Structure 1
């Protein structure tokens, strides 16, 4: 690897121009607020030599003999031409140009000026994202874009979950589409945040319709950095810090636990001198670090960028660690004046040591995880004594959490390569022909080794219990995935007087293939050098394997029309064909139309002095969702199924059976969306804003429909397209930018989204149960007409019984005692249908995991060489289900400290907490809590060295900073975190969630 990097570095170095006679350095800033301007084109007049300013607005340019004039240009700003003379430092202040339209942003298969866009889009710059010490750019985007809810996990290597304008499906996929330099993907954990120039989010159906079947859940377009004309530029960025658990639930200590257990079961646990804090046993303060080295530059014929990045996140749970190495090489070549070629390529290698994985080590069949066992483990048992583990399972309790970690080695190794190449040809000035081919290859090796251990004195302090593993086990699973996409487009740009046209037509083809094989074997030696499937007990071997393959073929077109820059019209049409659907429904059309009126450009608005921009826009679009199993419409036959004759299993004969009931005409889920918006800029563009209203309706959503069978083993359900789901909402965005004096500038930005999700109609479909937490609670969510998807559906508590008399007096209208087996201290549940029995028909809706509103606040300030930024994220109005509190497996599980002191007793007749109990309470609103929270996502303070020192030290820029991620969270929820990802039917349930982490880090950005 070192030889490869050195060779590549020397090859890149060899392409550079020779050093010139003198160097001019400086910084380019915004005239309004003094903030640095990255990406400004700095060009030596009369030549093709130049560069772009870095993240701090700095540049360093070499001038040859006779070269004395530099031009500075940037979209949205007035260009400047400066004669250098004998100066070596030239700082430039750029003013906005009212005659120019806003910045250019990347949209599907092209670029558009911001003010010409008729759909709902948002853009986040890479420098905003790279400030935060996170794994993926989507985590850093949290709270920065209205209409985009991002649910993060603290687990190393985990991707956040994204919901664009609500949940639009119950049973299909909800993954947003990422487009990285033209390569389509569902996961960007391999993308280095430092490589990203910007992210454009296509939120509404009009903007996303160009991606057709991939646009139903929103589209995120990522553009990575490229080289620029100029001398070689080297930058190095890093941050190093620590992570710790941001919020821990206070559990009962040994004395409190003993008190509770005695009250619940009548006898106290054995006396013990131990008082174990299981969280301290399995958690740690973990190191994290990130390093990025970039080399870029080029000439008028070619530009290049090479970047290497390394990230290491230990994870706060012992046994966790995530490492990632990324390499990126982006090149562009101007072959002729009208012919251009380029490619973007990346390689990622990651190792995820995941001690948090689910582990089954219970002879009773109970499955737990390290963190859930730490929540339940009895505190009077020691964690480890003289190399032997405390035997929590000997007391009828969960397994020892420390042994959970030490007895398992779980590792996932992944290699991934992404790349795309393009050829662009302009036969005439108004026509661009472009072809591009992108590929994404991933190979993943999952290995889990389970050590052997026995319930005797060699392993445990006390023998016995049910935590054991008689034989070691090795499981290996290899997954290989390959996807390619081929785009061919033609773009025509023409202007006739006040009429401007841009027409895009093209085709795109995509193919995906995945295969996986797995094998396991028992009695494999504990030596890691012998962890192979061919070692161990051959008679215990089990193998499995499967695959998936699908393809899409699409035809697309888009027309952008503008009249005088005032009246804008966009029409998009795409036809998608997907092999995931039967031939009769394989192709679907996705049209959209958007219109906008730039009122501020009308003649009657000239000289009014209030609005710098006033724009009204409206759009309608249709997109699809084919994220269903590839075999969803194909009947499958199971072989070697025993069929008993005359009802006797002894007479059973093997045969074939069609076990799956399918709909052979399954169809697309279709999203239709209306969007209306107002955009404005006032007070010399110091205050900018946007207000959006959207109505997003999903038709033909997949749902379960009951099927009455005339024979067989009873009624079953079939998945088919009959449901409708709606999301309606309002998005508000406001940003203020100003300066005080010459040295101080600041920005204040905020966005809020109000969204209402509702199932409109099941149309004969069957309401869907979900959200199982075990422990006899059955389901916890129910998706039904008139309710949000995945709403909590539980019993309603009416307080606590204080006496036997109250139990006897709680009757239905017919005088029947409703809870005859209850005892004082038990919850009283509502008999909703007055039948005298508490059963599932008495459940009622108790809120949803989907927030009523979520918002972000982003602050920034610059004072001389100091910079400051603060981002806040919050959501309100949602509910979460405390599943870990509900799923008490053994009855002797530990309890939260509040349950000890707030419980009902004969002397404390509280009505909110039941008496001490052994668990397995019915699913009720007792476990449903507020999920509202507000969090300081990031706080960063930086200092950039003055230009005089930079010139003396011969470096382009140097900035040092300190930062904190998830610094503080205010929440009402009593659990670990209210951010709980999951599928549409079971989100918002905390059962074995990884705790949220808080990070403190420091770093530097240096350029040469």
Structure 2
């Protein structure tokens, strides 16, 4: 009996103990700033009990026991563990893990963890962008991302030119697709850097195929900030000066006079200067007279935060930059409002709205081909004679009859253009959690541009040695209004489901896009030179010009993407997009763009558990198709001119083809293979990746040059392939500072790309299978694009010294040659020097480009520097090669000129003639530029608490301060078109900035 009672008592005690140990615990997961972390995983170790925090960071764990271990994980933060004790509430504060901050990336129509992706994505975070006092995010990215080449010039308002893994099209453009908060745009110049949260660059087909025909050149996704946490006010201010960082040493007055006399003597003309005149000449430095040190100012303020019902982010930014060219400036005002409203726990709506107003001023009337026009004033200053003053004694502008070059100061003061733009871009969106694993999102994006360009050429008096006259007798006003509207409507479901070791993320959607643009331009002469009277109706009707044009296009696409992950080890990605575009005929309008990728997170295998050296190892591979339809609408239409023709018995109306068109034009299609290895050592203090890619664009739209008998100049058709093959490598070593200690980060990346027009198929008999480009504006061209060569390959005569004797001339068939002229190599050996003897001599596309990034911090001090460079590219000095008759030269050309009796010094004798395009003017474009040097100081928290602010940082920055290059021109960085990049002519010289700034948070 006693035994039975004891057994019952023990059973009751055991049950009571079990009941006491089984319990429910709750808590809040937050970061160091006490901001809740929604989506954090709270899991009981070795048990299938877990919870995911809600929007306010709350979690609940049921059926846990005292003594259970619990692990809390959240992407970008150090995992933390705690043990269940008697209490029922556990609030956990997680610390940021710098080694994992880059794990979440933005992809098309959503976000993903990098370990779940098989594609290649590079990204910049907010601190790398916001702390860079540049005009645009692209300038901040220069030299930091492998496979991404950013080419800048010194003009205010310029955002830079981007090439991702080379150029893949001739007519379809080479710029990437820009998507800002889901809104498609072709202009990101108005975005304030301080508003940007991240920039993600999709580079391979696996990543970009979800954008179909828009993704062939790569995709740049920009995400702007949203409010979070308590009310926060941020202020930033930067001011400084722009200066020319590289000057060309031009011939002075005496050297110019001597050179001019020698050139005249070679064509049996009298000298322009006597010896006594040469001895008493003084020099005019034309570049000094048209340039200045320009003031740079940039200010930004933002207010952000969140409540239970909404989060908000409101900002305003102002930029005012004077260029180094007098009369050249740019100002921009931007306002952004990003709000999210939580209607309940499952439904959210919001908007991202950006309003930008900008004005650019240029001392030029060439303002109708882009926001930053070719600035011919620099070329005029290069070429004008240094022997004449800027003005005569009576105040009129001076000119000379020795050449046909204008007075650059007069040109700058009497020719001007104003480019005003107002742009509204943004979206309104709604998002609903239908189930905890199914979300629907709808977003309507809009991008509206209103632009007005007003260019005025005034009448002014100018005098040379023999006469006084009025330049631009017919003062002219030109006005152009541009309107453009783009709407895109995206609707998609996202299924995010996990069970056991399987993780699925499936996106299914529909997107539509409509684009319209129109311009109206006109010009009249005789408009009065007053800012208040610059209207066309005040000019002369005779000789007026009016032009109107535009474009309309629509796109519709269905897309789906699967991101599958098994046990955080094996990854499979697949995407398909079905797209239709109105830019093509009905039988070619629809195209499918599939892609797939595989990845293996080797470091998550069990055999890696017992080692600590290698912390991350991932292999990935992907393949896919992407497209390009960036051509004007209606290219497949046949234009017909209807006229009346007399025939016996009456007049008959008939049609004649104006131009020849291919009604079977189709999409350009790029096929890309991508293989990569990612690695991390020593708890990811050392990280890096290596990627090989091979992409070929088929059916490129190519303008075939037609024979003269056809009546047309060219015929646009799908006639070839372009191939880009290359490797990318990046490595980064860093360690965060602890307890106000020393922290550092050192990064290096390098990209090698081989570009080739791999195939041309002249579908029309006798059509010329090449494109000649790179005009020097003197009747000469310097590039030709042909099969087997890079796009925009320099096509030049090879020099072989100069003719030094009459005997050499007598034995040569080179037409019109004189002693002192270059000898050109007879490549084909036919005894004649002709176009057939021109050779291909490289292009502006480098063998490889690289970047070096260093950041150091010790206690409150921080220092950073960024360097980038090109190796193996060629540039053509079009300034030096553009001499007609009596223009100035650079000092190197003067020193290298051939003088009889002195032997060959490397250059030709003095000349007054248009030179043939030759390798003498082709130079190595290698350079290394120190893009940024910044030294900052952040005040410590004790001091900040006294003055009631949360952050105060001051800094000094030098941008483009140093460039190491052997190039003889103003700037080896020469962004132009796909077929003529690397030609320096009417280019903006390199500009350096020296700035002081302050960042302040309340």
For the superposition of Structure 1 and Structure 2, which TM-score range results when normalised by the shorter chain? 0.7 to 0.9
Give the equivalent residue in structure 1 for 2:626.
623
Q: For each residue in 1:351-396, what CA deviation from the matched residue of structure 2 results, as whole angstroms up to 9, or x when unmatched?
A: 1011155499xxxxxx982111001000011112457244324333
Q: 1:513, 1:339 → 2: CA distance? A: 33
Give the equivalent residue in structure 2 for 1:778.
780
Give the equivalent residue in structure 1 for 2:4.
none
Give the counterpart of 1:297 among 305, 308, 311.
305
Give the equivalent residue in structure 1 for 2:957.
963
Give the counterpart of 2:904 among 910, 913, 935.
910
Give the equivalent residue in structure 1 for 2:806.
804
Matches within 5 A, 1:253-332: 253-266=252-265, 267-270=270-273, 271=277, 273-332=281-340
Give the equivalent residue in structure 2 for 1:364.
none
Give the equivalent residue in structure 1 for 2:698.
699
Q: CA deviation at 1:608?
A: 2.1
Q: CA deviation at 1:539?
A: 2.8
Q: 1:224, 1:1002 → 2: CA distance? A: 25
Q: CA deviation at 1:598?
A: 0.3
Q: CA deviation at 1:707?
A: 5.2
- In the alignment of these two chains, the number of paired residues is 911
Give the equivalent residue in structure 2 for 1:352.
360
Q: CA deviation at 1:461?
A: 6.8
Give the counterpart of 1:600 among 591, 599, 603.
603
Give the counterpart of 1:896 among 890, 893, 900.
890
Secondary structure of 1:244's aligned partner: strand
Retained in 2: the 8 A contact 1:578–1:587? yes
Give the equivalent residue in structure 1 for 2:416.
409
Compared with structure 1, are the counterparts of its residues 308 and 722 closer, same or farther at alpha carbon in structure 2 (3 Å cutoff)? Answer: same
Give the counterpart of 1:759 among 757, 760, 765.
757
Compared with structure 1, are the counterparts of its residues 580 and 95 closer, same or farther at alpha carbon in structure 2 (3 Å cutoff)? Answer: closer
Give the equivalent residue in structure 1 for 2:728.
731
Residue 399, structure 1, aligned to residue 409, structure 2: no
Secondary structure of 1:336's aligned partner: coil
Give the equivalent residue in structure 2 for 1:950.
944
Q: CA deviation at 1:903?
A: 1.1
Compared with structure 1, are the counterparts of its residues 423 and 357 closer, same or farther at alpha carbon in structure 2 (3 Å cutoff)? Answer: same
Give the equivalent residue in structure 2 for 1:138.
138
Give the equivalent residue in structure 1 for 2:440.
433
Compared with structure 1, are the counterparts of its residues 691 and 235 closer, same or farther at alpha carbon in structure 2 (3 Å cutoff)? Answer: same
Retained in 2: the 8 A contact 1:391–1:465? no
Give the equivalent residue in structure 2 for 1:672.
671
Q: CA deviation at 1:102?
A: 5.8
Q: CA deviation at 1:462?
A: 5.2
Secondary structure of 2:880's aligned partner: helix
Compared with structure 1, are the counterparts of its residues 408 and 463 closer, same or farther at alpha carbon in structure 2 (3 Å cutoff)? Answer: farther
Residue 839, structure 1, aligned to residue 834, structure 2: yes
Give the equivalent residue in structure 2 for 1:422.
429
Q: CA deviation at 1:885?
A: 1.3
Give the equivalent residue in structure 2 for 1:86.
none
Give the equivalent residue in structure 2 for 1:114.
114
Q: 1:626, 1:419 → 2: CA distance? A: 24
What 5-or-longer segments of structure 1 have no aligned partner? Answer: 1-38, 49-70, 83-90, 361-366, 646-651, 810-816
Q: CA deviation at 1:610?
A: 2.0
Matches within 5 A, 1:432-511: 432-454=439-461, 459-460=462-463, 464=467, 468-511=471-514
Of residues 526-535 and 561-570 in structure 1, the stretch that sits farther from structure 2 once superposed is 526-535
Give the equivalent residue in structure 2 for 1:812.
none
Secondary structure of 1:806's aligned partner: helix
Compared with structure 1, are the counterparts of its residues 714 and 542 closer, same or farther at alpha carbon in structure 2 (3 Å cutoff)? Answer: closer
Residue 537, structure 1, aligned to residue 528, structure 2: no
What 5-or-longer segments of structure 2 have no aligned partner? Answer: 1-29, 40-70, 83-91, 369-373
Give the equivalent residue in structure 1 for 2:51.
none
Q: CA deviation at 1:653?
A: 12
Give the equivalent residue in structure 2 for 1:383.
390
Q: CA deviation at 1:80?
A: 6.8
Secondary structure of 2:552's aligned partner: strand
Q: CA deviation at 1:122?
A: 0.6
Secondary structure of 2:538's aligned partner: coil
Of residues 264-273 and 793-802 in structure 1, the stretch that sits farther from structure 2 once superposed is 264-273
Q: 2:95, 2:375 → 1: CA distance? A: 60
Q: CA deviation at 1:127?
A: 1.9
Q: 2:260, 2:93 → 1: CA distance? A: 73
Q: For each residue in 1:615-663, what CA deviation from the matched residue of structure 2 results, as whole angstroms up to 9, or x when unmatched?
A: 00000011000011212111123467x9999xxxxxx999864221110
Q: 1:882, 1:487 → 2: CA distance? A: 47
Residue 719, structure 1, aligned to residue 727, structure 2: no
Q: 1:482, 1:577 → 2: CA distance? A: 19
Give the equivalent residue in structure 2 for 1:174.
174
Q: 2:890, 2:645 → 1: CA distance? A: 51
Q: 1:653, 1:794 → 2: CA distance? A: 52
Secondary structure of 1:539's aligned partner: strand
Q: For each residue in 1:171-216, what CA deviation from the matched residue of structure 2 results, as whole angstroms up to 9, or x when unmatched?
A: 2211211100110011101111111011000001110001111101
Q: CA RMSD in A?
A: 2.7
Retained in 2: the 8 A contact 1:101–1:115? no
Retained in 2: the 8 A contact 1:350–1:413? yes
Q: 2:334, 2:376 → 1: CA distance? A: 31
Secondary structure of 2:34's aligned partner: strand
Compared with structure 1, are the counterparts of its residues 538 and 784 closer, same or farther at alpha carbon in structure 2 (3 Å cutoff)? Answer: closer
Give the equivalent residue in structure 2 for 1:659.
658
Matches within 5 A, 1:552-567: 552-567=555-570
Q: 2:261, 2:675 → 1: CA distance? A: 62
Give the equivalent residue in structure 1 for 2:161.
161
Give the equivalent residue in structure 2 for 1:104.
104
Retained in 2: the 8 A contact 1:42–1:72? no
Q: 2:966, 2:750 → 1: CA distance? A: 20
Retained in 1: the 8 A contact 2:375–2:987? no
Compared with structure 1, are the counterparts of its residues 430 and 92 closer, same or farther at alpha carbon in structure 2 (3 Å cutoff)? Answer: closer
Give the counterpart of 1:43 among 34, 41, 55.
34
Give the counterpart of 2:979 among 967, 975, 985.
985
Secondary structure of 2:981's aligned partner: coil
Secondary structure of 1:900's aligned partner: helix
Secondary structure of 1:94's aligned partner: coil
Retained in 2: the 8 A contact 1:865–1:944? yes
Matches within 5 A, 1:808-823: 808-809=810-811, 817-819=812-814, 821-823=816-818
Q: CA deviation at 1:780?
A: 1.2
Compared with structure 1, are the counterparts of its residues 93 and 899 closer, same or farther at alpha carbon in structure 2 (3 Å cutoff)? Answer: farther
Retained in 2: the 8 A contact 1:801–1:828? yes
Q: CA deviation at 1:81?
A: 11
Matches within 5 A, 1:740-755: 743-755=741-753
